[in-house]
Structure 1
Amino acid sequence: MNHAPAAAPLAADAAADAAAAEAGAPLVLELEPGEHWWGGTVKDAVQMPFGATSAYGVDLAVPRHDPAWDSAEDSSQAAPLLVSTHGRVVASPRPFAFRFAEGRLEVDGTDVAVLRGGSTLRDGFRAASARLFPPAGRTPARRLFAAPQYNTWIETPLVPSEESVLAYARRILDAGLEPGTIFIDDNWAPDFGTWHFDRGRFPDPRRLIATLADWGFDVMLWVVPFISPDSAAFRECERDGLLVRDADGRTAVRRWWNGFSALLDLSNPAAVDWFTRQLDALVEIGVAGFKFDAGDVRDYRADDRVAEPCEPVDMSEAWARLGLRYAHNEYRACWRMGGQPLGQRLRDKPPTWDDAGLGSLVPEMLAQGLLGHPYVCPDMVGGGEVGAMGAMGDRQAADQEFFVRYAQIAALSPMIQFSVNPARALDAEHLAAVKDALAVRAEHLPRILALVDEAAVTGEPVVRPMSYHEAGYESVTDQFFLGPDVLVAPVLERGATTRALQVPPGTWHAPDGTAHEGPATVEVPVGLTTLPRLTRAAAGTAPR
Structure 2
Amino acid sequence: MKFTDGHWLLRDGVKAFHPAEAYRITSDSDSLTVLAPVRRIERKGDATMGPVVTVRCSSPVPDVIAVEITHLEGVRPRGPEIELHSPETPAVDVSVDDRAAVLTSGSLSVRFTRGDAWRMDFLADGRVLTGSGAKAMAVIEADGHPYVREQLDLGVGQHVYGLGERFGPLVRNGQSVDIWNADGGTSSEQAYKNVPFYLTDAGYGVFVHHSGKVSYEVASEATSRVQFSVAGQSLRYFVVHGPTPKDILRRYTALTGRPARLPAWSYGLWLSTSFVTDYDEGTVSSFIDGMAERNIPLSVFHFDCFWMREYQWCDFAWDERAFPDPPGMLKRLKDRGLKICLWINPYISQHSPLFAEGRENGYLLRRPNGDVWQWDLWQPGLAIVDFTNPAACSWFAEKLDALLDMGVDCFKTDFGERIPLDVVYFDGSDPERMHNHYAHLYNQVVFDLLERRRGRGEAVLFARAASAGTQSFPVHWSGDGEATFEGMAQSLRGGLSLGLSGFGYWSHDIGGFIGLPDAAVFKRWIAFGLLSSHSRLHGGGSYRVPWAFDEESVDVLRDFSRLKMRLMPYLGRIAEEAHTEGLPMMRPMILEFPDDPSCAYLDTQYMLGDSLLVAPVFSADGHVRYYVPEGRWTSLLSGQSITGPRWVDEQHGFDSLPLLVRPGTVLPTGAVEDRPDYDHAAGVVLRVYSLPETTRVKTRIVAPGGELSAAFTVERAGGRLHVTADRPIADWAVLLVGESVPSSIEGATPEHVAEGVLLRALPNALTITVDG
Q: TM-score, normalised by structure 2?
A: 0.63
Indicate if the aligned counterparts of 1:8 and 1:126 stay in contact, CA closer than 8 A: no
User: Among 190, 193, 201, which residue is 1:85 paired with?
Assistant: 201
The alignment status of 1:425 with 2:548, answered yes or no, reads yes
Which residue number corresponds to residue 9 of structure 1?
63
What SS is found at the alignment partner of 2:137? coil
The alignment status of 1:474 with 2:600, answered yes or no, reads yes
Deviations 1:454-484 (A, max 9, x none): 2111111001111112121111111101111
RMSD: 2.4
- Amino acid in structure 1 at the alignment position of 2:215: A
User: Among 389, 395, 399, which residue is 1:274 paired with?
Assistant: 395
Deviations 1:369-423 (A, max 9, x none): 1222111112x211123xx12xx5xxxxxx1111111011111111111133444
Deviations 1:165-189 (A, max 9, x none): 2222222222321121111110212
Indicate if the aligned counterparts of 1:225 and 1:295 stay in contact, CA closer than 8 A: yes
CA distance in 2, matches of 1:282, 1:365: 31
The alignment status of 1:212 with 2:329, answered yes or no, reads no
- Quick check: which has more Rg, 1 or 2? 2
CA distance in 2, matches of 1:90, 1:213: 46
1:14-33, aligned counterparts within 5 Å? Answer: 14=123, 15-18=130-133, 20-23=136-139, 24-33=147-156
Which residue number corresponds to residue 383 of structure 1?
512
Which residue number corresponds to residue 215 of structure 2?
97
Which residue number corresponds to residue 441 of structure 2?
318
Which residue number corresponds to residue 395 of structure 1?
none
Which residue number corresponds to residue 295 of structure 2?
176
Once the two structures are TM-superposed, the CA of residue 211 in structure 1 deviates from its matched residue by: 0.5
Which residue number corresponds to residue 303 of structure 1?
422
Higher strand proportion: 2
Give the unaligned 5+ runs of structure 1.
1-6, 393-398
CA distance in 1, matches of 2:63, 2:548: 51
CA distance in 2, matches of 1:421, 1:433: 14
What SS is found at the alignment partner of 2:167? helix
**Higher deviation after alignment, 286-295 or 173-182:** 173-182
Once the two structures are TM-superposed, the CA of residue 86 in structure 1 deviates from its matched residue by: 1.5
1:326-475, aligned counterparts within 5 Å? Answer: 326=450, 327-354=459-486, 357-378=487-508, 380-385=509-514, 388-389=515-516, 399-419=518-538, 420-470=543-593, 471=595, 472=597, 473-475=599-601
CA distance in 2, matches of 1:535, 1:351: 29
User: Among 242, 247, 253, which residue is 2:363 paired with?
Assistant: 242
- Please list every run of at least 4 consecutive aligned residues from structure 1 whose deviation after the TM superposition is greater than 4 angstroms: 62-66
Indicate if the aligned counterparts of 1:140 and 1:329 stay in contact, CA closer than 8 A: no
CA distance in 2, matches of 1:416, 1:305: 39
Q: Which has the higher contact order (CA 8 A, sep 6+)?
A: 1
The alignment status of 1:491 with 2:611, answered yes or no, reads no
Give the unaligned 5+ runs of structure 2.
1-60, 65-107, 111-121, 124-129, 140-146, 451-458, 667-687, 690-736, 738-754, 756-772
Q: How many residues align?
A: 509
What SS is found at the alignment partner of 1:402? helix
What SS is found at the alignment partner of 1:202? coil
Of all paired residues, the percent bearing the same amino acid is 23
Which residue number corresponds to residue 169 of structure 2?
47
Once the two structures are TM-superposed, the CA of residue 114 in structure 1 deviates from its matched residue by: 4.7
CA distance in 1, matches of 2:189, 2:641: 46
**Higher deviation after alignment, 282-291 or 89-98:** 89-98
Indicate if the aligned counterparts of 1:193 and 1:224 stay in contact, CA closer than 8 A: yes
Indicate if the aligned counterparts of 2:169 and 2:603 stay in contact, CA closer than 8 A: no
Deviations 1:192-221 (A, max 9, x none): 232122223211111101110112211111
Indicate if the aligned counterparts of 2:313 and 2:379 stay in contact, CA closer than 8 A: no
> Could you say if the C-alpha distance between residues 47 and 125 of structure 1 is closer, same or farther in structure 2, counting changes exceeding 3 Å?
same
Q: TM-score, normalised by structure 1?
A: 0.88
1:17-166, aligned counterparts within 5 Å? Answer: 17-18=132-133, 20-23=136-139, 24-42=147-165, 44-51=166-173, 54=174, 56-61=175-180, 63=182, 74-94=190-210, 95=212, 96-100=214-218, 101=220, 102-109=223-230, 110-130=234-254, 132-135=255-258, 138-145=260-267, 147-153=268-274, 157=276, 159-166=278-285
Indicate if the aligned counterparts of 1:223 and 1:293 stay in contact, CA closer than 8 A: yes
Which residue number corresponds to residue 222 of structure 1?
343
CA distance in 2, matches of 1:305, 1:76: 23
CA distance in 2, matches of 1:430, 1:454: 33
User: Among 665, 674, 684, which residue is 1:539 paired with?
Assistant: 665
What SS is found at the alignment partner of 1:284? helix
Which residue number corresponds to residue 502 of structure 1?
627
What SS is found at the alignment partner of 2:631? strand
